Structure 1
């Protein structure tokens, strides 16, 4: 099993330079993957720094040589296929074939309804499926003509050619995120290269890993290509029991452990003074310490 980190794209003091430093520290500490969230706004009131994940990961690619880089997850329904094709291939080539593209439908009205985006989650699911279909074709570098319900890349005598193709072949790995237990996200994930499950209602357990692994085995053909199951978790850097936790999830079918390094696990709260200042600072030192402790 490989081990990755999941970090927010927002927080006081978080910018592209810091993300690059985190990624370099993760690589030095022995992590196998460094994954950034993709949100327009922080999960907090008041002014909180936020960074564009694509630009930040480009900085991380320039600061590292080995570690896998990716977004977990990007809500494709609010991005255009032709733009994502250019961004993802540019990042894959810049990193010499180290990109993983995590995708999902997104959630939260403040990034959808309130911004004039599609509010219906079911429609966003349709958009995601169509987007992925177009994106995979664009990655080939061959001419693409597409006139779908939600996206278009076609003219009277014109096709879209997004050249060059990515370094990774047959495509950049696509991991699909979804809340467990669920149905549609996992059917979708089975058609791609990996799944990133989560439980909004609590801690991820070994039984959850085993259940998702069994579900993927049901949905995928026996001779299908290798498939990644990236499970979420939190461990302390100095806790010797963490290796046992990794082993238990690996035995249940996980191929990646994704360590969530976020401020809430270190006591940060969304609590502001009457003067508009946070009562508790963003725990950058504690987050950096967990990164440097390694898997």
Structure 2
């Protein structure tokens, strides 16, 4: 079981330097990962300051040595896949091969409608699948051509390749909807969320069984659970999640008070 900080990109005042400070302290305290949300325009009535996770992660990559880092999750259909491919390759090299890419539909209509972006989830799903195929093709370091419904690429070669042979991709999905989990089975991990509430160990057993039906290769596969812990010594609930197939616990952080968040981060993950 690994433990990561899963922080909103509007937390701690939305200042990039605060996120870098937190990531450095997280590495010192023994956390395994530091993952930033990728929102462009969260609720403007409630949230005033928002950091760009990609620029911030570059600062984190340059300021840390071992902690895994990434976005959870990037609304890939709202990005140009060729730009994301270049950004991921650069961050993976800058970090020495520590980048994980979380992806999802980006289906929040209030966040995208003001910009005139697509809101149809069926279209977004098509764009997501095509974008993921493009990422893999561009990361290969070989000439790549792609012609889909939404994207077209002719004879392009991207170099340098990412540092990792395979950049882990975690696909988000809302359980018990099934299509996102069939997609996730094709990649390196799944970031499940509950439709109305937190998922239970029984949910994770079902998720893992469902994904295993569609897995086509034997390899390490990550299942992420979003959690909220106050006491690092409260560990009695961990074994059940581990037995259910969870491999990462993502400690959610949304508070604005940097001092309070630092105190929690410095306590470290739950003690097993």
Q: What TM-score results when the alignment is normalised by the length of structure 2?
A: 0.94
Partner of residue 240 from structure 1, selected from 208, 233, 237: 233
Offset of 1:203 from its aligned partner?
Answer: 2.1
Offset of 1:71 from its aligned partner?
Answer: 0.4
C-alpha contact 2:104 2:171 (8 A) present in aligned 1: yes
In structure 1, what is the equivalent of residue 158 of structure 2? 162
In structure 2, what is the equivalent of residue 35 of structure 1? 35
Of 203-212 and 186-195, more deviation after overlay is shown by: 203-212
In structure 2, what is the equivalent of residue 208 of structure 1? 203
In structure 1, what is the equivalent of residue 183 of structure 2? 188
Post-superposition CA distance 1:222-261 (Å, at most 9, x none): x52221111111111x3522x2222221111111111111
Question: How does 1:1-295 map onto structure 2 within 5 Å?
Answer: 1-11=1-11, 13-45=13-45, 48-154=48-154, 159-169=155-165, 171-221=166-216, 223-236=217-230, 238-241=231-234, 243-263=235-255, 282-295=256-269
SS at match of 2:177: coil
C-alpha contact 1:111 1:117 (8 A) present in aligned 2: no
C-alpha contact 1:246 1:257 (8 A) present in aligned 2: no
SS at match of 2:144: coil
SS at match of 1:145: strand
Offset of 1:44 from its aligned partner?
Answer: 4.5
Q: 1:287 to 1:176 in 2, by over 3 A?
A: same
Mapped partners of 2:14, 2:204: distance in 1:
32
C-alpha contact 2:12 2:254 (8 A) present in aligned 1: no
User: Runs of at least 4 residues of structure 1 off by over 4 A?
Assistant: none
Mapped partners of 2:81, 2:157: distance in 1:
12
Gaps of 5+ in 2: none
In structure 2, what is the equivalent of residue 275 of structure 1? none
Mapped partners of 2:135, 2:181: distance in 1:
19
Q: What TM-score results when the alignment is normalised by the length of structure 1?
A: 0.87
Offset of 1:287 from its aligned partner?
Answer: 1.9
Post-superposition CA distance 1:53-107 (Å, at most 9, x none): 1000011111110000010000000101110111000000000000000000012
SS at match of 2:101: strand
Mapped partners of 1:255, 1:286: distance in 2:
27
Structure showing greater Rg: 1
Post-superposition CA distance 1:128-175 (Å, at most 9, x none): 000000110000111111221111212xxxx21110100100x21100
| Higher RCO structure, 1 or 2 (CA under 8 Å, sep 6+) | 2
Corresponding pairs, count: 269
Mapped partners of 2:223, 2:102: distance in 1:
12
SS at match of 2:13: coil
